[in-house]
Amino acid sequence: MKRIYDIENGEEFSLFVLIKTADVKTARNGNPFIAFTFQDRSGSIDGMYWSATEKEIATFQTGKVVFLRGERDTYQGQPQVKIKAIRLAEAGEPDDPTMYVERIEVKREVLQEEINEALFEIREPNIARVVRKILHQVDNEFYTYPAAKRNHHALAGGLSYHTVTMLKIARQLMTIYPDLNASLLIGGIILHDVGKTVELSGPLSTEYTFKGQLLGHIVIVDEMIDRACTEIGINTDHEAIVLLKHVVLSHHGKLEFGSPVTPRILEAEVIHMIDNLDASINMILSATSKTKAGEFSEAIYPLDRRKMYKPTFK
């Protein structure tokens, strides 16, 4: 099926797309119009809807799937839709918004299996029970949320994908450094970003929630562990529980990055470093995937705005 990315300049088309943003503005003549951004998994495109009625403004809102008929045009060098007709998708049509949002390419089942395998490495029974309980509580969000609003792994499913990649690295490191404590390392990685299921609003038009802004995902996951202990009946003064909390609290590595304590056990330091490693690689690969070999990418903001070169050889 055709997608936004495939339409050529001047081409007429009819497509189901998601309304990513819908800003109501006033034209020079005083009439309201809607400045849309439409989206599907192949990309996004802008379009102005002139002289919108109040009812149309109420209908065509962010997050809705619409059937759009238009012609691809160019404005100031940017592609744009000349909107010819627009209506909401109906029952029986492909009206699930999540189908239009970019998401990771790996299937949920594959990730779940990786998580399940890793769970078996947790030998300390209290950590094992707490991790399983929390995973069970956030099961759906864990596999559908992004890992961030922007920057690294900012796409649906990114949270679990990022977690699983960190687990792969960690399990390899355990063969190289046998002193690593598997229970803390594996348990800590699985939980480290689980607070994002409360901090963020979800995979669609991701925003920070009220609790996300005022408490932050690091404290949120600490509370999750604390409550899980109470519910299971584990003493929260137990060394393993204090250390599990510690590795998630300290996983940003430094106070200035938002951790209330700095890493004080080996596994906390290692989780912090693997987290950074996977995030950096993900951001660089995202940027260079849009770059021709032999050229530099766009500036990557979280990496000090560096532009990364893509070699021409293997």
Neighbours of 199 (CB within 10 A): 23
| Whether the Cβ atoms of residue 118 and residue 169 lie closer than 8 Å to each other | no
- The least distance separating its own copies from the CB of residue 88, rounded to whole angstroms, comes to 26
- The least distance separating its own copies from the CB of residue 53, rounded to whole angstroms, comes to 18
Which amino acid, residue 80? Q
- The least distance separating its own copies from the CB of residue 165, rounded to whole angstroms, comes to 7
- The least distance separating its own copies from the CB of residue 67, rounded to whole angstroms, comes to 26
| Whether the Cβ atoms of residue 49 and residue 23 lie closer than 8 Å to each other | no
Closer CB to its own copies, 5 or 177, in the complex: 177
Q: Which long-range contacts (CB under 8 A, 24 or more apart) does 267-273 make?
A: 267/180, 267/181, 267/184, 267/185, 267/188, 268/184, 268/188, 270/170, 270/173, 270/180, 270/185, 271/166, 271/170, 271/185, 271/188, 271/189, 271/192, 271/247
- The least distance separating its own copies from the CB of residue 144, rounded to whole angstroms, comes to 21
Given the structure tokens 């499913």, which residue do they identify? 157
Which of the 8 DSSP states describes residue 8?
Answer: P
Closer CB to its own copies, 66 or 244, in the complex: 244
- The least distance separating its own copies from the CB of residue 113, rounded to whole angstroms, comes to 16
Beta strands in the chain (DSSP E): 12-26, 32-40, 43-49, 65-75, 78-88, 296-300, 306-309
Closer CB to its own copies, 69 or 227, in the complex: 227
According to DSSP, the β-strands at 78-88 and 43-49 are parallel
Closer CB to its own copies, 141 or 226, in the complex: 226
Closer CB to its own copies, 9 or 290, in the complex: 9
Closer CB to its own copies, 154 or 221, in the complex: 221
- The least distance separating its own copies from the CB of residue 232, rounded to whole angstroms, comes to 14
- The least distance separating its own copies from the CB of residue 222, rounded to whole angstroms, comes to 6
Closer CB to its own copies, 61 or 74, in the complex: 74
What is the rounded CA–CA span in Å between residue 202 and residue 76? 34
What is the rounded CA–CA span in Å between residue 83 and residue 69? 6
Closer CB to its own copies, 102 or 267, in the complex: 267
List, in order, residues 6 or more apart from 95 with CB less than 8 Å away.
Answer: 16, 65, 88, 89
Residue 66 structure tokens: 């619409």
